Amino acid sequence: MPRTEYMAKALQLARQGLYTTRPNPRVGCVLVKNDRILGAGAHLKAGEPHAEIHALRQAGAEAAGADAYVTLEPCSHQGRTPPCADALIKAGVKRVFVGMQDPNPQVAGRGLARLQAAGIEVESGLLEEAAQALNPGFIRRMQSGRPWLVAKQAASLDGRTAMASGESQWITGPEARADVQELRAASCAIITGIESLLTDNSRLTVRDERFTGLPGFTQPLRVVLDSQLRCPPSAEIFQQAGSTLVATLQASRDRKPEEAAALEAAGAELMLLPAAPCGQRLDLEALVKALGARECNQLMLEAGSQLTGAFLQQGLIDELRLYLAPRFLGSAARGLLELPGLNKLAAAPELEVTEVRAVGKDWRFQLKPLNQPSAQ
């Protein structure tokens, strides 16, 4: 079997951890000798054995002289678990094929160097692009401190997200909503704005048993942007499993101590952020960096037109998932994005369509912003 096929098998295994490994990366490993797979494994949950360890345990003594195919460079440092590079050396593997180098500064080539120093042949970059696609958030956070941010919007064909009254359930069909559940499950945190919360009383939870039933699954962190502390303690979001973070201003907490105390009594954690240059709203870049400091790899933005537009204009969106329903809502309905100050076509945000596919009766567009300002 070609080497690429063994690495493809390792990549397939790594996807088993798509919804459970946070804040760790998704990693798969296959051990091969004489064209026979001796062991295979995936990392499934932080604190539990890494993919290499699962594969080595399956292979046992037969791992000596085998080739290891690992989607991410084996770790070389003592974290919650011992270094995988040392385990491969101790097992006596002959060669190690790696999908991509680990962007973690604690590893960053040291795992490969340790293997080579032990006399093991190492080849890095096998199916590298596919390996990178498994962990865009982990890579981004390790390189810049920022998570990967995916914004989700649902609209009609005429670009409307709700009727003038605010009615929006449901523009898209059940298949599209199930697809959104998958995106939620893969995210470390889900961000919304106070206006959306007050309008929809959103729970922002993963409810699909395909994901909640996975061993080790935990609900993503829920984040509400509430600069004026208007969030009601009775909101549904505080009645759900998992944690809810309310991001606000120090001035608002000082001005409304009773409201702040009520939210904390309801189970909320208050995060104090600086104000944006306008002075009344939260600094969105500071929010994203603060969530990166909390080891969030991937963020999902589920918000209204104003907040989503603000994230886009500040260059904080890495991917936009737009679900289009085959219906028209009319000119009085609410628009997709608010982009204040946009007066010339040349300044309009430009996006690249990276994928289009049917999801039930709707269409899902995956778009990558191109000409937005850098937020590194």
Give the DSSP letter of residue 162: E
C-alpha 308/C-alpha 324 separation (Å) is 17
Q: Is 298 exposed, middle or buried (0-12, 13-18, 19+ CB in 10 A)?
A: buried
Distance between alpha carbon 374 and the CA centroid of its chain, in Å? 19
Contact 336, 303 (CB under 8 A): no
- What sign does the dihedral 296-302-308-310 (CA atoms) show? negative
What is the side-by-side order of every strand in the sheet holding 189-193?
A: 268-273, 244-249, 221-225, 189-193, 298-301, 148-156, 319-325, 362-369, 351-359
52 is catalytic: yes
Q: Name the catalytic one among 5, 52, 236, 259.
A: 52
- What sign does the dihedral 148-151-157-158 (CA atoms) show? negative
Active site residues: 52
